C-alpha cells in the first residue's frame, strides 16, 4: 500500500500526545476515522485532514466536554454551535467550582477540628467565641453508658440528611442551661448535628449567631465528661458567668479515627452570659 502523505497510528499518537488505545477508541465510536486502512494488514493510516479534528478533540477535552458532545460538534461544525457548547460548559464549570468551594470549606472545618484536638491544652478552661452555625437538634433525654447509646438518635437525625454524611466533629450532645445551672450532668437533653454549607436537611433546623462561650477539651469520650462540666461550672461561678444555652459536647477523635483510646479527644463548649442568677 502506498502511504505517501499518510501517518501511522503510532505517529499520530506521538504528534498529539495520545495513546494508540485512545485513538482506536475514537475510531470505534465514530469520532475520528482513519483516512485509510490496509486491507491486508489492518494497519490504520491518517492524513493531515485528521489533524484539525484531533486538535479540536484534544482542546475540547481540556475544557471538560464529553466525547459525545464533541462528536455532535464534529458532525455539525458551526460557530454558533461551538458558542452554545462553550456557554453550556461554562455553566457546568461554574457549578462545579461552587461545589468544590463547598467541599474545600468542609475539609477546612474538619482539619480545624483535628488541629484543635491535637493542639494539646487539655483540661484547661478557655473563653472564646462560637462561630455562627446551623444545627439539626433532636430534643430527647439521653443517658450515655457507651458510644453505642448515641447510635439510634444519630441514625434518626441522619435519616433527614441528604448529600452529606454524619462524621466526627459534626455530631454532639448537649445539656440544657437549666441543668447546667443546677450542676446536673448525668443526662443529656439533646443530640445535635452541625450542618455544613451545602448539607440538605429536610427536618427543622436552628440557626445560632456567634456566642461567647467557655470551653474545655479532655482526653476521652462522652462517658468521661461529668468532671469537666464541674470544672466549667466552677469557672463560670468564679467569673460571674451563667449558661446561655445548651452545651455543645463534641467528640473530635474516637474509634472513627483510631483504635488507641489514649488519643480520644472531646470538647465541651457552653454559651455564656453575665450572671444574673446564682448558679
On the question of pLDDT at 274 being above 60, the answer is: yes
What pLDDT, on a 0 to 100 scale, did the predictor assign at position 204? Answer: 77
On the question of pLDDT at 165 being above 80, the answer is: no
User: Can you tell me the mean pLDDT for 185-202?
Assistant: 83
Q: How far apart are CA 169 and CA 116, in angstroms?
A: 11
Q: How many CB atoms lie within 10 A of CB 150?
A: 19
What pLDDT, on a 0 to 100 scale, did the predictor assign at position 9? Answer: 94
User: Which residue's entry shows cell 454559651?
Assistant: 271
* pTM for the whole structure: 0.68
Least confident of 5-14, 111-120, 175-184: 111-120
pLDDT category at 258 given cuts 50, 70, 90 is confident
Contact 57, 71 (CB under 8 A): no
Share of the chain above pLDDT 90, in %: 56
Overall residue count recorded for the chain in this entry: 279
User: Can you tell me the mean pLDDT for 150-179?
Assistant: 72
pLDDT in tens, 3-52: 678 999 999 999 999 999 999 999 999 999 999 998 888 899 999 999 99
Amino acid at each position: 500500500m502506498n502511504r505517501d502523505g499518510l501517518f501511522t497510528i503510532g505517529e499520530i499518537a506521538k504528534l498529539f500526545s495520545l495513546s494508540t488505545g485512545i485513538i482506536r477508541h475514537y475510531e470505534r465510536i465514530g469520532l475520528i476515522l482513519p483516512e485509510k486502512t490496509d486491507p491486508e494488514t489492518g494497519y490504520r493510516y491518517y492524513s493531515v485532514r485528521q489533524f484539525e479534528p484531533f486538535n479540536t478533540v484534544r482542546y475540547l477535552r481540556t475544557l471538560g466536554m464529553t466525547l459525545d458532545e464533541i462528536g455532535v460538534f464534529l458532525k455539525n461544525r458551526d460557530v454558533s454551535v461551538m458558542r452554545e457548547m462553550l456557554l453550556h460548559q461554562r455553566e457546568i464549570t461554574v457549578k462545579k467550582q461552587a461545589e468544590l468551594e463547598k467541599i474545600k470549606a468542609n475539609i477546612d472545618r474538619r482539619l480545624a477540628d483535628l488541629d484543635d484536638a491535637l493542639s494539646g491544652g487539655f483540661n484547661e478552661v478557655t473563653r472564646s467565641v462560637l462561630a455562627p452555625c446551623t444545627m439539626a437538634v433532636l430534643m430527647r433525654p439521653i443517658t450515655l453508658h457507651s458510644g453505642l447509646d448515641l447510635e439510634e438518635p444519630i441514625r434518626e437525625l441522619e435519616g433527614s440528611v441528604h448529600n452529606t454524611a454524619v462524621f466526627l466533629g459534626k455530631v454532639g450532645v448537649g445539656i440544657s442551661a437549666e441543668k447546667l445551672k443546677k450542676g446536673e450532668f448525668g443526662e443529656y437533653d439533646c443530640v445535635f448535628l452541625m450542618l455544613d454549607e451545602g448539607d440538605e436537611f429536610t427536618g427543622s433546623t436552628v440557626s445560632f449567631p456567634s456566642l461567647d462561650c467557655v470551653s474545655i477539651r479532655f482526653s476521652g469520650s462522652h462517658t468521661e465528661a461529668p468532671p469537666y462540666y464541674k470544672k466549667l461550672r466552677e469557672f463560670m461561678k468564679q467569673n460571674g458567668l451563667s449558661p446561655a444555652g445548651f452545651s455543645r459536647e463534641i467528640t473530635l477523635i474516637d474509634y472513627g479515627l483510631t483504635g488507641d483510646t489514649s488519643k480520644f479527644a472531646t470538647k465541651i463548649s457552653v454559651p455564656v452570659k453575665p450572671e444574673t442568677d446564682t448558679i
